[in-house]
Structure 1
Amino acid sequence: MNAVSAQDEFSKWAKLRRQHDKAMEEHDKKAAAVSSSRSSFDTKATAIRWTSTSGLRLALQFWHAKTPVFTYPRGWFPWYIEWLLGFPRCPYGGVSINVWSTACATVIALVWDVMVYLIQSVQQVRGGDQKGEKEKVNNDRRKEEMRI
């Protein structure tokens, strides 16, 4: 359309404009269809991912709410701590699956943080050793230059 003058060759320009508009309309329809399909896929994928992770966990916690993960002799802790360990519906003297899963998730998060900290500190030490070696080499070169 840029190569054709709208004033000099109007009929040719109008024909190209109609073809362009038709192609743009088809493009917009296809883009809308792709967007709709993508949105549908994203919704289904999110639902499947949630169901297979959080949904499964919630189902297990609901199903085994009255079953203790493990028991301890009753009276080891004050009643309010026993109530918290059995929250929400586990009998006294037992640890509920909700409390146990929360404790496991907390321990996993803490171990992950410790691992990241250790890796970063080792990398910093190695980086510091390399810098120290470079400075030592540079100092040795300066001494050599001063002798000459």
Structure 2
Amino acid sequence: MPSILLVVFVIQLCLHIINTFGANTINQLLWILYNKLPVPTSKRAAQAASLKREILRLKRELSGLSAQDDFARWAKVRRQHDKALSEFEKIDNSLKTHQTTFFSTISTLRWLGTNGLRLVLQFWHSKSPMFWVPAGWVPGYVEWILSFPRAPMGSVSINIWGIACASMIELVSEAITATYVLVTKQAPPTMEANEPMAHKAQPQPQPQPAREGKKEL
């Protein structure tokens, strides 16, 4: 059985990953991986992906044709595009029903496996010491804080251990992000997606050239 210390750390790490990348992004990734398996929706998902590539190809080809100069070719490609688009929409609408159910199930399992499990562990081990602080290392009021809410005095409670894990993971994440920015001279992908204007330099006002001569009164 894994140590409760490690379990709490893993839960906090999972919560940090979810908060960093976003639940919707993780759901989309899991949906793609799910359809790679031999499941009922895998065949339709592959057809939808193939049709989407075909639609993009026909759209590019259609944009390079002139309806006036080569109407026959333009009309043929247009019919192929409309047919592929109609088939894609039909398959995509069918997949959306399964996708909604899948997202709902994944969201429920994710909450139970992270926040739900964390709450259960905090309740079950509220009086259990995670580890003991050597006597005399910290003042009495610090011992009370470390044992909050119901762990024995002189020990670290599961709540404080969870906060410590979350804080350490956040510090390491910020250090990795700062290192990435320094090495690549680019903003992290998550920041670019969520805050597109945060790293753009504002244009500096240009000084107006002084007019020659005196102003006319």
- TM-score with structure 2 length normalisation? 0.38
| SS of residue matched to 1:117 | helix
| AA of the residue aligned to 1:104 | C
Query: What residue in structure 2 maps to residue 17 of structure 1?
Result: none
Matched, 1:81 2:142: yes
For residue 64 of structure 1, report the CA deviation from its aligned partner: 1.2
Aligned length, in residue pairs: 94
For residue 73 of structure 1, report the CA deviation from its aligned partner: 3.0
Q: Separation in 1 of the partners of 2:184 and 2:97?
A: 47
Maintained 8 Å contact 1:65/1:97: yes
For residue 55 of structure 1, report the CA deviation from its aligned partner: 1.0
| 1:95-134 to 2 correspondences below 5 Å | 95-124=156-185
For residue 115 of structure 1, report the CA deviation from its aligned partner: 0.8
Matched, 1:90 2:151: yes
Deviation track 1:31-72 (CA, whole Å, cap 9, x = no partner) reads 8x9887765554433221100111112212221111111102
Q: Separation in 2 of the partners of 1:119 and 1:38?
A: 34
| SS of residue matched to 2:167 | helix
Percent identity at matched positions?
A: 44
| AA of the residue aligned to 1:116 | T
Q: RMSD of aligned C-alpha atoms?
A: 2.5
Q: Separation in 2 of the partners of 1:46 and 1:115?
A: 28
| SS of residue matched to 2:161 | helix
Q: Separation in 1 of the partners of 2:98 and 2:185?
A: 47
Q: Separation in 2 of the partners of 1:108 and 1:35?
A: 36
| AA of the residue aligned to 2:126 | A
Deviation track 1:104-136 (CA, whole Å, cap 9, x = no partner) reads 1111111111111111101129xxxxxxxxxxx
| AA of the residue aligned to 1:97 | I
Judge which range, 87-96 or 59-68, deviates more. 59-68
Q: Separation in 1 of the partners of 2:106 and 2:138?
A: 45
Q: Separation in 2 of the partners of 1:64 and 1:115?
A: 32
| AA of the residue aligned to 1:61 | Q
Maintained 8 Å contact 1:68/1:90: yes
Matched, 1:62 2:111: no
- TM-score with structure 1 length normalisation? 0.54
Query: What residue in structure 2 maps to residue 71 of structure 1?
Result: 132
Maintained 8 Å contact 1:86/1:99: yes
Maintained 8 Å contact 1:72/1:94: yes
